[in-house]
Amino acid sequence: MINLSKYNFHWREGFSYGYDVKRGLFEELVKYADAKPVVGVVGLRRTGKTVLLKQLIDYLVENKVKRERILYFSFDEAGASLEKVISEYQARLGVELAKAGNGGKLYIFLDEVQKLEGWQEQLKYYYDSFPDLKFFISGSSSLFLKQKAEESLAGRIFLFHLPVLSFREFLVLKGEGELAEKPELFKELLKEQVLLYVRRQFPELVNADEGFIHLYADSIVNKAVYEDLLKIFPIEYEDLLKRILYIVASNPGMITDYESLANDLGISRITLTKYISYLERGFLLQKCYNFSRNLLTSEKKTKRLYLTSPSLVVDLWEEPEFGRVVENLVVSSSGAKFFWRSGKDEVDCVLVRNGEILPIECKYRSSIRKRDLKGLLKFLTAFELSHGYVISEDIESEEIIEDKKISIIPLWKWLLNF
């Protein structure tokens, strides 16, 4: 028998999980609380997926859903199957699933679902057979959820990615949300907070001391590499995943020549390509392509690699030039897919939003010269664009150079928009 009581404290009258500060994704998920499709939340470990599910449970209770009609279960518990969980729930509730709709929907929250072998087929059966069941699921692995969900649950699931904390979310969790609401009043404080934020992009790190940050970040990497990815992929060289991650951490934004890097690591190019893909799908690495208006052509060109969060490998954080860490932060926070390089001219980050091309150059310094903008101006000319952006340390201005508008924005101000 499965002990459901230890997971479902909300069955007790008056109980609330009490997580008052909500991530931005919460409001998006609420929109689908009563829609038929499964709501799935994926993301790196420790980004707050479990808290998000429990906040949704509190939301349902506050909106008059009977407490006993909400089930939460985590598949961290070994040996459990979905059938056993639901059978035990039926027995406790005293209602057959076929008749469950008489009292409204039953809301079923399944945490760490990727640990359940064949979860997608089991979920599909209950989804198709019992229309009054509403499922919410979470998992730590992108591929394990997305690929199998798309194959078996096509048209039955809405998937959402929960990233690391945005700068604004960091400030709110830290109790400094007022800084974000009145940024012009608190410029100096916001600049200071950015330096803390780089190392504390996970909820449990917001107020942590330096020693804890190192241990915590290392535990996330080790669990993702040696547990999550090993369960999913046919990995022959276990330590190689971490070696690749550390190479990127020591040189974020590195131009990646797969052939040379594979030779340095003593493996084949094919193996390296696979392992980088595994790290990318495990939410540890982010890949950028050399921009072309033909986006398919872009994917065949030179690639750059970044950490999905600079907080992941903080023991190497001070090794690279801090400007490179800022570049990583701008790329990862904006979800950029492109950079640009032509000869010796470069642009760090190219965003494509609703058909608009936004080139961004990272110059985290207190003075910026025209020659620092050479690559950005060349890009604007080459692609017949009129507006480019520069991320600075604390300069804020707009300039017209060679008939091009250049907006220079402090890093803290840029991050408040993502």
Dihedral, 253, 255, 260, 265 alpha carbons, nearest 10 = 10
CA 389 to chain centre: 24
For all residues of the chain together, what is the average pLDDT? 90
Number of other CB atoms surrounding residue 321 within 10 Å? 12
- 313: nearest Cα among 220, 225, 234: 220
Assess contact for 272 and 261: CB atoms under 8 A: yes
Computed from CA positions of residues 290, 293, 298, 300, in that sequence, does the dihedral angle turn out positive or negative? Answer: negative
Tens digit of each residue's pLDDT (9 = 90 or more) over 113-151: 988 888 889 999 999 999 999 999 998 766 556 666 667
**Any idea which fold 214-416 has?**
Arc Repressor Mutant, subunit A (1.10.10)
pLDDT reported for residue 299: 58
pLDDT at 305: 95
Give start-end residues of each CATH 1.10.10.10 domain in the chain.
214-416
Reading the block at residue 302, the tokens are 């030179």
Cα separation, 71 vs 73, whole angstroms: 7
Unique residue bearing structure tokens 């290392």: 218
pLDDT tens string, the chain, 418 residues long: the values are 788 999 999 999 999 999 999 999 999 999 999 999 999 999 998 999 999 999 999 999 999 999 999 999 999 877 788 999 999 999 998 887 777 767 789 999 999 998 888 888 999 999 999 999 999 999 876 655 666 666 778 889 999 999 999 999 999 999 999 999 999 999 999 999 999 999 999 999 999 998 899 899 999 999 999 988 888 888 999 899 999 998 998 889 988 888 889 999 999 999 999 999 999 988 999 999 999 877 656 556 679 999 999 999 766 555 557 888 899 999 999 999 999 999 999 999 999 998 899 999 999 988 999 999 999 999 999 999 999 999 999 999 999 999 999 999 999 999 998 8
pLDDT, position 295: 62
Domain with CATH 3.40.50.300 in the chain: 4-161
Structure token pair of residue 218: 């290392």
Q: What's residue 1's pLDDT?
A: 76
Q: Record the pTM.
A: 0.91
Kindly compute the dihedral angle of the four CA atoms of residues 34, 38, 44, 49, in this order, to the nearest 10 degrees.
30
Compute φ and ψ for 390, nearest 5 degrees: -130, 130
The H-assigned helical ranges of 133-183 are: 142-152, 167-173, 177-181
Residue 313 C-alpha from the chain's centroid: 16
Chain centroid offset of residue 76 CA? 21
CATH architecture entry for 4-161: 3-Layer(aba) Sandwich (3.40)
Which whole-number Å values give the CA distances from 14 to 3, 11, 68, in the listed order?
21, 9, 13
SS3 406: strand
Q: What is the reported pLDDT for 149?
A: 66
The CA–CA distances, whole Å, from 10 to 6, 13, 22, 60 equal 10, 7, 18, 11
Q: Are 201 and 164 in contact (CB under 8 A)?
A: yes
pLDDT number for residue 266: 94
Task: Give the pLDDT confidence score for residue 221 in this predicted structure.
Answer: 92
Q: Are strands 303-307 and 285-290 parallel, antiparallel or unpaired?
A: antiparallel
**pLDDT on residue 150:** 65
Distance CA 53, CA 276 (A): 30
